[in-house]
Amino acid sequence: QKEVEQDPGPLSVPEGAIVSLNCTYSNSAFQYFMWYRQYSRKGPELLMYTYSSGNKEDGRFTAQVDKSSKYISLFIRDSQPSDSATYLCAMSERDTGRRALTFGSGTRLQVQP
């Protein structure tokens, strides 16, 4: 079983829809939670970064972390065709010397105009 599970999709939605992307994880030592967006033939770019549990909002994006359930989410409001990409969740530990990110497999999102 992988440490981080993510539905690969593809997820197809109409323009303007609210998108919900999710990851579950098994390692309770994860403290930092991130969402990256990766366009085809590009490197991942950081969208959202959250420490521990709670919500964080940035424009049309909202990240939620529920450590008790080991579940994180990314919501995209008013989705646009330009949001079509692969979304990767990533996590890392703190204070264990493990300075490396563990990624989910990515969810491919298609926003139809």
Please report, as ranges, the residues that interact with other proteins according to CB under 8 A: 32-34, 36, 41-46, 49, 51, 88, 90-94, 97-106
CB of 32 to other proteins, least distance (A): 5
Nearer to other proteins, 3 or 78 (CB): 3
Beta carbon of residue 37, minimum distance to other proteins (angstroms, whole number): 11
CB of 41 to other proteins, least distance (A): 7
Tell the smallest beta-carbon distance from residue 36 to other proteins (Å): 8
CB of 47 or CB of 79, closer to other proteins:
47
Q: Are 91 and 2 in contact (CB under 8 A)?
A: no
CB of 100 or CB of 113, closer to other proteins = 100
- Answer whether 15's CB lies under 8 Å from 110's CB: no
Local structure of residue 26 (DSSP, 8 states) = -
Concatenating the DSSP letter of every residue in 65-81 gives EETTTTEEEEEESS--G
Interior/surface letters 90-100, b for 16+ CB within 10 angstroms, e for the rest: bbbbeeeeeee
Residue placing its CB nearer to other proteins in the complex, 42 or 77: 42
Give the closest residue to 28 by CA, choosing from 71, 63, 64: 71
